[in-house]
Structure 1
Amino acid sequence: MKTFQVVPEICMLSTVDEFLKEFAPGENDLVFASRGTQKRHLGGKLGAATVIDYREYGQGEPTDLMVEGIVAALGGKTYDRVFAIGGGTILDVAKLFALEQLSPVTDLYQKKFPAKKAHPLILVPTTCGTGSEVTNISILELTKLGTKMGLADAALYADQAVLVPELLKGLPDRVFGASAIDALIHSVESYTSPKSTPFSRTFSLRAMDAIIAGFLAIEKDGLAAREARQGTFLLASTYAGIAFGNAGCAAVHALSYPLGAAQHVPHGEANAVMFAAVYEAYKKKRYDGRLAELMQHITTLLGTSEDDAFPQLMALLDKILPKKPLAGYGVKEADLKDYTDIVMTKQGRLMANNYVELTEDDVLGIYQKLYHQS
Structure 2
Amino acid sequence: MRIGGGAIAQVGEVVTALGARRPLVVTDSFMVSTGVAALVVEHLATAGAHAAVFAETVPDPTTASLGAGSAAVRAHGADAIVAVGGGSPIDTGKALALLSAQGGHMRDYKSPRVNHGPALPVIAVPTTSGSGSEATQFSIITDSDTNEKMLCAGPGFLPAAAILDFELTMSKPPRLTADTAVDAMCHAIEAYVSRKASPFSDSMALAALRTGGAAIRDVYADGGNRAGRESLMLASLQAGIAFSNSSVTLIHGMSRPIGGNLHVAHGLSNAMLLPTVTEFSIAGAPERYAEISRVLGASGPNASDVTATRRLVDWLRQLCADLAVPTPASYGIDRSVWDALIPTMAQQAIASGSPANNPVVPSREQVEDLYARVFDAQPH
TM-score of the aligned structures, taking structure 2 as reference length: 0.85
The correspondence of residues 143-292 of structure 1 with structure 2, limited to 5 A, is: 143-218=144-219, 222-223=221-222, 226-283=225-282, 285-286=283-284, 288-292=286-290
CA contact (8 A) 1:98 1:121 kept: yes
Would you say how many aligned residue pairs link Structure 1 and Structure 2? 357
Q: Could you tell me how far 1:77 is from its partner in structure 2?
A: 4.4
Q: Counterpart amino acid of 2:361?
A: E
User: Residue 83 of structure 2 corresponds to which residue in structure 1?
Assistant: 84
Q: Could you tell me how far 1:323 is from its partner in structure 2?
A: 1.7
- Residues in 1 aligned to 2:193 and 2:175: alpha-carbon distance in whole angstroms: 27
Report the CA distance shift for 1:114/1:163 in structure 2 as closer, same or farther (over 3 A): closer
Report the CA distance shift for 1:342/1:238 in structure 2 as closer, same or farther (over 3 A): same
Report the CA distance shift for 1:75/1:181 in structure 2 as closer, same or farther (over 3 A): same
- Residues in 2 aligned to 1:166 and 1:252: alpha-carbon distance in whole angstroms: 30
CA contact (8 A) 2:114 2:154 kept: no
The correspondence of residues 313-324 of structure 1 with structure 2, limited to 5 A, is: 313-324=316-327
- Residues in 2 aligned to 1:111 and 1:308: alpha-carbon distance in whole angstroms: 36
Q: Could you tell me how far 1:321 is from its partner in structure 2?
A: 4.3
Q: Deviations over 1:280-321 (max 9, x none)?
A: 1123x4453323333344455689963333212321233224
CA contact (8 A) 2:218 2:228 kept: no
Q: What SS class does the counterpart of residue 59 from structure 2 fall into?
A: coil
Q: Counterpart amino acid of 2:92?
A: V
Q: Counterpart amino acid of 1:337?
A: P
- Residues in 2 aligned to 1:154 and 1:113: alpha-carbon distance in whole angstroms: 8
Report the CA distance shift for 1:43/1:288 in structure 2 as closer, same or farther (over 3 A): closer
Report the CA distance shift for 1:369/1:224 in structure 2 as closer, same or farther (over 3 A): closer
Report the CA distance shift for 1:321/1:19 in structure 2 as closer, same or farther (over 3 A): farther
Report the CA distance shift for 1:302/1:42 in structure 2 as closer, same or farther (over 3 A): farther
Report the CA distance shift for 1:12/1:323 in structure 2 as closer, same or farther (over 3 A): same
Q: Could you tell me how far 1:118 is from its partner in structure 2?
A: 3.6
- Residues in 2 aligned to 1:80 and 1:362: alpha-carbon distance in whole angstroms: 47
- Residues in 2 aligned to 1:32 and 1:338: alpha-carbon distance in whole angstroms: 32
Q: Counterpart amino acid of 2:362?
A: L
Structure 1 residue runs without a partner (length 5+)? 1-9
Q: Aligned-residue CA RMSD in angstroms?
A: 2.6
Q: Deviations over 1:220-259 (max 9, x none)?
A: xx21564332111111100000100111101100101111
The structure 2 residue matched to 1:40, chosen from 35, 43, 47, is 35
CA contact (8 A) 1:117 1:156 kept: no
User: Residue 97 of structure 1 corresponds to which residue in structure 2?
Assistant: 96
CA contact (8 A) 1:269 1:321 kept: no
The correspondence of residues 345-360 of structure 1 with structure 2, limited to 5 A, is: 346-348=351-353, 350-360=354-364
CA contact (8 A) 2:115 2:153 kept: no
User: Residue 109 of structure 1 corresponds to which residue in structure 2?
Assistant: 110
Q: Counterpart amino acid of 2:258?
A: L
Q: What SS class does the counterpart of residue 322 from structure 1 fall into?
A: coil
Whether 2:343 is the aligned partner of 1:337: answer yes
Structure 2 residue runs without a partner (length 5+)? none
Q: Could you tell me how far 1:263 is from its partner in structure 2?
A: 1.2
- Residues in 2 aligned to 1:17 and 1:60: alpha-carbon distance in whole angstroms: 23
- Residues in 2 aligned to 1:102 and 1:323: alpha-carbon distance in whole angstroms: 40
